[in-house]
Structure 1
């Protein structure tokens, strides 16, 4: 997918420029931005006059296009991304991370999620794929389940729903329509289990999709290499 988009940009660099313009003066970043803007406009024009459901579908597709095009110019996958988001003293954190601990992250997705440095590394990786909202939603649900105050429970539930679950939420997660509507119904009488179905869907998505890519990523392999060097 990324290769097809990249080929499109490269082709644009070799096409003749109108009015005697010089191709060498047009940067790849500018071409990417221009094509991205063009695709956005095309979708907007195509959806004009359609029903609200079609508009929402088109907006999600449009968002996906912007994400894929953005990956051409924003693709960072290194150990430094992991250390940059640690709360404090990242170098000390790396020294404390043993090869055994980092290796165990590959045992299962739940093992990774049970380790604070594993969560930090996975979050950094998801940022490179523009999908960190999935992990943030899962973590928010885990924290929500610890709520003991009935008053706070209601307010927290609505805040999580509006931020992650509702259509066009600021950090909308990728769940199916039925799950979204079931969660919406749960908002009428929020409980500690009201997000279980949605959280399970997101967990499964990350486990089957993002997690295997993380284990093959340069970021994870760099962490293993650095921890092994400290032992030699």
Structure 2
């Protein structure tokens, strides 16, 4: 599930990312990713205009993302924009965990359930997990106990905590971010 991207900055073990590096990444690497998102969303991507196959994001749709966090998460371009924003804050593991849980809940094979649960736990929940999400001790321990007999609901409490954290913390900042305001501006410019 973990993908390396051009936005990542190689870090040694237990080395905090210096703020100058964060700033450098956010200002030099992410504009290209942000532009790619705009090209896809607003339909300025030249191949898309030639084929006419890509659906364009309307100003009305992008404006609706501010109605609620769940509206944002339910829209493919909203999800992409929010992911791009979280990358600038080095907290995309929260969204990736939430999405992994949503995918996990669709598991129909009992044989795959335990292995998928273990993979999610090791990647996001376990102490010192490579993409550890910020949850409290009680939630982590409850999830660890749930892993003894994995079910489709074994991550529900942890997923809820992460959803709440993103909704109360990251989402308001996203709505004020350059990524979102630029996207709105581009959709409005396309109409004029």
TM-score relative to the length of structure 2:
0.81
5+ residue gaps, structure 2 = 1-10, 44-55
CA shift, 1:69, in A, is 5.1
Q: Residues 150-175 of structure 1, C-alpha deviation per residue, up to 9 Å, x if partnerless?
A: 11011100000000000110111011
Residue 82 (structure 1) aligned with residue 82 (structure 2):
no
Distance in 2 (alpha carbons) for counterparts of 1:107 and 1:155: 37
Q: Secondary structure at the match of 1:170?
A: coil
* Matching of residues 1-232 of structure 1 within 5 Å: 65-66=16-17, 68=19, 70-76=21-27, 80-84=32-36, 91-95=39-43, 96-232=56-192
Distance in 1 (alpha carbons) for counterparts of 2:96 and 2:68: 19
Larger Rg: 1
5+ residue gaps, structure 1 = 1-36, 41-58
CA shift, 1:93, in A, is 3.3
More helix by share: 1
Asked if 1 retains the 8 angstrom alpha-carbon contact of 2:42 and 2:190, the reply is no
Q: Residues 155-200 of structure 1, C-alpha deviation per residue, up to 9 Å, x if partnerless?
A: 1000000000001101110111111011000000000000000000
| Shift in alpha-carbon separation, 1:74–1:83, aligned structure 2, 3 A | closer
* Runs of 4+ residues deviating >6 angstroms: none
In the other structure, the counterpart of 1:13 is: none
CA shift, 1:231, in A, is 1.1
Distance in 2 (alpha carbons) for counterparts of 1:200 and 1:67: 30
Distance in 1 (alpha carbons) for counterparts of 2:34 and 2:110: 36
TM-score relative to the length of structure 1:
0.67
Q: Aligned Cα RMSD in Å?
A: 2.2
| Shift in alpha-carbon separation, 1:214–1:79, aligned structure 2, 3 A | farther
Asked if 2 retains the 8 angstrom alpha-carbon contact of 1:82 and 1:120, the reply is no
| Shift in alpha-carbon separation, 1:80–1:140, aligned structure 2, 3 A | same
What is the aligned residue count? 169
| Shift in alpha-carbon separation, 1:92–1:166, aligned structure 2, 3 A | closer
